[in-house]
Amino acid sequence: MDGGASYNPRTVEEVFRDFKGRRAGMIKALTTEVEDFFQQCDPEKENLCLYGFPTEQWEVNLPAEEVPPELPEPALGINFARDGMQEKDWLSLVAVHSDAWLLAVAFYFGARFGFDKADRKRLFNMINELPTIFEVVTGTAKKQVKEKSSNSNHGSNRSKSNSKQGFEPQPRYSKALQSKDAEENEEEGLEDEDEDEHGETLCGACGENYASDEFWICCDICEKWFHGKCVKITPARAEHIKQYKCPSCSNKRAKH
């Protein structure tokens, strides 16, 4: 319930920035902050909606009272289905509706500020370069990457025992540290090959792509990869973790 009156992106770039901010907030609610989100969606409460804000924050709240609202409204009553299906199915359903809402808001701005055909196409193409919230939440995009890299299957020749066989040839942490080894390697092509192979790996928290200069860590339970900064894990801390559990898996275990 953003009250768009005070915030009106007017260019393609501004609308895309607005889209990314709202998307990041909703992804947090459905991944790293899922326990808090789950608790707020009490079926005993009134019709609730999940809102994402341009500031990368999220909120569970009642729908807007004014009709028509300032912005399109998210799916109504997501809390009513919470206990009627498996948690992962419920989160996937909320994710799909969240994707639809994000597009609705983006194209609402596009229509309101007179984007022409070329602008609308450019906006959609920019949006389409990002994985959907549904793909991030369900790991669909990462599964495709996993299948692709399992064909090459040269993870077994790495020295670290924690590497995920057939998925990432690097260990479950310190991806960023690997760049030093790559520089020392006589075959310069290996670094490019590594970047190509993992360029489509997506962070389970923010949904952004892998980059060779960033530190990543893999969850030993769900096998999703995360930016260290997204899950507040440093390379030094990762060295002392025998089995890493992401926030989502930790929360699930704590509940049962």
The whole-number average pLDDT for the span 193-215 is 69
Looking at the structure, do residues 30 and 98 belong to the same domain, yes or no?
yes
Query: Using alpha carbons only, what angle is made at residue 125 by residues 108 and 34, rounded to the nearest 5 degrees?
Result: 70
Q: Domain for residue 180, yes or no?
A: no
Whether the pLDDT of residue 23 is over 90: the answer is: yes
Same domain? 115 vs 215: no
Q: Give the Cα separation of 35 and 52 in Å (integer).
A: 17
| Number of compact structural domains in the chain | 2
Domain that holds residue 212: 203-255
* 7 vs 140, more confident: 140
pLDDT tens track for 58-109: 999 999 988 888 899 999 999 999 999 999 999 999 999 999 999 999 999 9
> Do 50 and 126 belong together in one domain?
yes
One domain, residues 25 and 102: yes
Half-sphere exposure of 48 (CA within 13 A, CB side): 21
Same domain for 115 and 38:
yes
Q: Look at residue 79 in the predicted model and tell me its pLDDT.
A: 95
**pLDDT one-digit tens code per residue, 147-193:** 555 554 444 333 333 333 333 334 444 444 444 444 444 444 444 54
Same domain, 124 and 46: yes
Instruction: Tell me how crowded residue 128 is: count the other CB atoms within 10 A of its CB.
Output: 9
Last residue of one domain, picked from the residues 128, 146, 164: 146
Quickly count helices (H) and strands (E) in the chain: 10, 4
pLDDT at 213: 74
Mean pLDDT of 211-219: 79
157 domain-assigned: no
**pLDDT value of position 143:** 60
**What average pLDDT does this structure show over 190-205?**
61
Q: Are residues 124 and 218 both part of a single domain?
A: no
**Is pLDDT at 222 greater than 90 in this prediction?**
no
Residues 134 and 215 in one domain: no
- CA dihedral over 140, 145, 151, 155, signed as positive or negative: negative
Q: Is residue 17 part of a domain?
A: yes
| Judgement on whether residues 141 and 219 belong to the same structural domain of the protein | no
Domain boundary among 146, 168, 188: 146
